[in-house]
Amino acid sequence: MKALIVGGGVGGLASAIALAQRGHDVTVLEQAPALSEIGAGLQIAPNGWRVLEALGVIPLIRDTLFEPEQIEMRMGVSGRKVFGLQMRGEAERRWGAPYIHIHRADLVEALAEQLRNLAPEAIHTGVTVTGYAQSSTGVALSCGDGSEMTGDIVIGADGLHSVLRTQMLGPDAPHYTGNVAWRAVVPIDALGDHAPPPGACIWAGDKRHAVTTRLRAGTMANFVGMVEMPEPSPEGWRVVGQKADAQAAFAGWHPVVTTLIDRAGTLNRWALFDRAPLPRWHEGRVVLLGDAAHPMLPSMAQGAVQALEDAWILAAALDAEDAPDAAFRRFHDLRIGRTSRVQKGSASNARLFHHGSMLGRAAIYGPMAIGARILPNLIHGRQDWIYGYDATTII
C-alpha cells in the first residue's frame, strides 16, 4: 500500500514509521523547506514512551532526554510548594514506562532518522499540498507547484489549520480558548541560582500559569507561560513576541519564572485554539490524525503523545481491515472517546491553574496538597487512565 502523509511533525513521522515497519510504501510531504522545529519542550508520558519504543526510536533519544524527579505545583508569586508527586522510578513501577522531557527538535530528528533507516527517500520537504481528489481505487494530492502525487491512502497530519480537514468537513474557524501562550528555552547555566526545579513544575496564578521543565539531559530549561487574554495574538509556533509583554504578564512572580523570561533570547507567543470533537476523521481514502483531528490545550502535556497513539493505532487498523474506509472508521471509533476526554481534561486543567482569589485557591489547592502528602497512591491513580494506556496492544 502506498501512503501519502501530509505533515512532517511528530504525528506524521510516527505514522510513516509505523506503516513502513509493516512493509508499506510511505511518502511524507512537509511544507517547510527543512524538518526543523523551534525551541520547545515536550513531556512524553509513559503512554507515549510505549509507542516510541515500538517505533524503535528510544535508542535515538536516550542521550538527550531528561527524566524529571517529580511533577509538582507551586504558587507563581511566592513559589510555595502545593504538592509534589514522585515520577522518577514511580512511573516505571506503576505504569511500566518512564515519564520524560525532550526537546521537540530532538524528537523530530530521531523520528526522521528512524524513518530514513526504513525508507531512505520517504521525506520530501518544501511541498505545499492544496487539496485532494479520490476514486474507488486511489487518491491524488494537488501541490502548490501544479504537480500531483498519487497513492492508495492519504493521512492528514497537517495540524490545527489542516488543509485536508477543511476540504473534508468544510471551512470553519477554530475556537479561541481565551489563552495566549509564551514559550522559550534557556541554558541552565544562564539562570544562576534561579534554575527551575529538576522536574515538571506548574506555577499557578491569577488568570495565568507557567510550566517549567528541563531538556537535553538537564542542560536546558524550558518555559511555557499561559495567560488569559480577551483578544488572540497571531497564531503560529514561530511567531516571536515582545519580551516586555511577557515580563509584564508575569511581573512580580517568583524569580525562577521572571529570570527565565529575562534571560530568554527569543520568546515565541501564540494564541491557543481548539475545536469541538469532530463527527468523523475521514472521507474515503483520506484520514486525519493529531491536531488536524483533535487539537487540545497543552495543560495535560498530551498533544504530541496523543498523536503518537493515533499513529500506531491507525497503522494497526490498516493492517487489520480489508479496506481503508473500514480501517479509518475503526480508527475513529477507537480514538474519539479518549481524545475527547483528553481535550476536555486539558481545558479543565487550564482553568484549575488560574484561580485568582485566596478563597478559590484554598478551596482547590488545599485538598490537593493534603491528598498528595497523605494519599499519593490515590493521586497517582487518577492518572492511570492516561499513563497506563498502551496503544500498542489495542488492535
| CATH code for the domain in which residue 242 is found | 3.30.9.30
The verdict on residue 208 lying in a domain is yes
Give pLDDT, residue 39.
62
Neighbours of 237 (CB within 10 A): 13
The verdict on residue 284 lying in a domain is no
- Is the CB of residue 287 less than 8 Å from the CB of residue 281? yes
Q: How far apart are CA 9 and CA 185, in angstroms?
A: 19
- Of the candidates 278, 389, 270, 268, the residue with the CA atom closest to the CA atom of residue 343: 278
pLDDT bracket for residue 299 (50, 70, 90): confident
pLDDT bracket for residue 174 (50, 70, 90): confident
Q: How far apart are CA 98 and CA 211, in angstroms?
A: 19
Pairing assessment for the beta strands 41-44 and 100-103 based on DSSP bridges: antiparallel
The verdict on residue 255 lying in a domain is yes
The verdict on residue 203 lying in a domain is yes
Give pLDDT, residue 366.
58
- Is the CB of residue 110 less than 8 Å from the CB of residue 62? no
- Give residue 199's domain range: 180-274
Q: How far apart are CA 306 and CA 298, in angstroms?
A: 12
Mean pLDDT of 283-298: 95
Domain count, the chain: 1
Q: Identify the helix (H) or strand (E) that includes residue 156.
A: strand 153-156
- Return all residues near 383 (Cβ < 8 A) that are at least 6 apart: none
Q: How far apart are CA 210 and CA 225, in angstroms?
A: 4
pLDDT bracket for residue 241 (50, 70, 90): confident
Mean pLDDT of 239-243: 86
Give pLDDT, residue 119.
98
pLDDT over threshold 90, residue 362 = no
Give pLDDT, residue 110.
97
Mean pLDDT of 35-44: 81
Q: How far apart are CA 2 and CA 149, in angstroms?
A: 11
- Return all residues near 265 (Cβ < 8 A) that are at least 6 apart: 184, 186
The verdict on residue 250 lying in a domain is yes
Residue 234 or 264, more confident: 264
The verdict on residue 174 lying in a domain is no
Q: What is the radius of gyration, based on Cα positions, of the chain?
A: 21
Give pLDDT, residue 234.
62
User: Hey, what's the cell of 163?
Assistant: 488543509
Q: How far apart are CA 125 and CA 177, in angstroms?
A: 32
pLDDT bracket for residue 371 (50, 70, 90): low
pLDDT over threshold 70, residue 217 = yes
Q: How far apart are CA 202 and CA 224, in angstroms?
A: 10
Length of the chain, in residues = 395
Give pLDDT, residue 382.
83
- Is the CB of residue 260 less than 8 Å from the CB of residue 196? yes
Q: Which of 133-137, 208-212, 230-234, 244-248 has the weakest average pLDDT?
A: 230-234
Give the chain's end-to-end CA distance (angstroms, integer).
Answer: 19
The verdict on residue 136 lying in a domain is no
pLDDT over threshold 90, residue 209 = yes
Mean confidence (pLDDT) of the chain: 91
The verdict on residue 141 lying in a domain is no
pLDDT over threshold 90, residue 250 = yes
Give pLDDT, residue 358.
55
- Of the candidates 51, 29, 22, 3, the residue with the CA atom closest to the CA atom of residue 307: 51
pLDDT bracket for residue 82 (50, 70, 90): confident
- Alpha helix stretches (DSSP H) within 216-276: 243-249, 255-263
